Chains A and B, each alone.
Chain A
Amino acid sequence: MPDSFDAFVAERIDRLLRYATALTCDPHLAQDVVQEVLLRAQSRWGRIGGLDAPDLYVKRMITNEYLSWRRRRAARDVTSAHSTLEAIGPSGGDPAVRHAEREAMRIRIATLPRKQRAAIVLRYYEDSTDAEIAEVLGCSAGTVRSHISRALGTLRAAADLTVTEVHS
């Protein structure tokens, strides 16, 4: 069984880390969360490894771990949001504008409420369906749609604002 765990980790570690990093917006926090979760998963791998989709289960553990860490510790500085936003200068050609917009969006996403952010990451990074997101977050598909719709509302408004700033 330990061999099966090692194989799982070897195969999935990068993907899990990338997911956790998108979720937490903090590579080091993501590392802590993934390590913590894998240590726990290892101790009951006999059961988890026998599931149809152990990776889904582990992803759910990571999500829960993140949601609970967020509750009990102050959010670390995600990134220097203001300086980055200010650095978005007048448009200097499409690639530069696009890069600035993307950077601004990355920061806006990092400031979303945790469940909204988790829903966004699952939808747009993991390409999960509403039902899958509901399963991971432990809520109904209706709640998922509401998280995503509110997050999109916030992000769209912010994006419009950024575009205005960039082009003004």
Chain B
Amino acid sequence: MTHDKTESLIREAVTEQAGRAVDGSVVIRALQRERPRRSMALVFAAVAVVVVAASAVVIPQLMRRDQAPPAAPGVVEERTILVLGRDGESRTDTIMLTRLAGERATAISVPRDTLVDIPGFGPGKVNSAFSQGREAALAAGASQGAADKTGAELTMSVVGGLTGMEIDDYLLIDMAAIGRAADAVGGVEVCVRSDTRDPLAQADFRAGRSLLTGPDALAFVRQRRGLPNGDLDRIMRQQVFLSGLIGRVTPANAAGVLAAVRDHVVTDADLLGLVESLARTRGGVRVALIPVDLEVSSPQGAGLEVSPEVVRPFVQSALAGEAPAAPDCVD
């Protein structure tokens, strides 16, 4: 068989496949039905990137379509995304409820040890929602990709319930991609207050400012030991890093950022649209940590108690603009 014949066969086969498309009128009717539902497309690509960096979580679909106002020119695009940072197969220690609204980006962290009720699984730490949902799906014969989605959606439902937010999309980022994201924007500047070390995270930072790239960026958002407040300090670092990263995403490097993280992200959002939206944010990321009570011991180990009655109004006001900008220097 000659080259030309193969190519003409390919051409015919592809055309034949295309000819099986459904009729356009079916889609037009469906669009008309859904019209009022969904509004913006996501600003959050940046978040994704950030997340990568920070390993945060996104909350995708809670916001749901019937609530979104119809888009019109001049309307500010808003999107709520659960960013989940994944280390290894199923550890999602970074969980961030992020919201993009025009030029403003807000990231609210949920500590991994937060005690919640996981639908179908009972009480547990918030970071176990992903692994439990994922493992149950795998046990039921789901593919890795489908299991990741199940775990992320279960986490969305838990975080949505806790915060009272409708989450549009989730963004599951492999922490390993953080370094690539940092490289894609030419490095992310951070400032640490004092020298710290964590051999396990391969972290060794000197007091002062530095431009983080590659493995150092990853170590910065992973370090938990050697910090005064452990995981809570790590959360602060993730927020600072995220803010720095998003601040460096521009229309010019957005494509590079997307290329760097694309294969390390699982999301139901439009990643390209997200990155573009991130490039539109200004003034860094506003950050907050949900109000948690003291650590208590529970059957699932030491965890942080929370009460939705306190968390919900807090999240509302944080998203309304009360969350402060990410701090300049961190521990």
Contacts and interface: CB of A to CB of B under 8 A. Distances in A.
A22 B10 contact: no
Interface size class on chain B is 35 or more
Nearest to B142: A74
Given A31-B26, A42-B71, A105-B12, A61 B272 contact: yes
Interface string A9-20: 110011001111
Interface stretch (B17-25, B104-112, B181-189, B307-315): B17-25
Chain B binding surface SS class:
helix
A68 interface: yes
Nearest to B280: A47
Interface in A31-68: 31, 34-35, 37-46, 60-61, 64-65, 67-68
A150 interface: no
A165 interface: no
B15 interface: yes
A28 B26 CA distance: 11
B71 A44 contact: yes
B14 interface: yes
B149 interface: yes
A102 B31 contact: no
Contacts, number: 163
Interface size class on chain A is 35 or more
Contact of B31 (A39, A61, A124, A156): A39
B239 interface: no
Contact of A43 (B26, B30, B38, B259): B38
Contact of A68 (B6, B21, B72, B271): B271
A74 B255 contact: no
A162 B22 CA distance: 29
Contact of A65 (B10, B262, B270): B270
Given A34-B27, A106-B13, A159-B9, A44 B146 contact: no
Going nearest first, the 5 A-B pairs with the smallest beta carbon separation are A13-B24, A43-B71, A40-B41, A105-B13, A18-B18
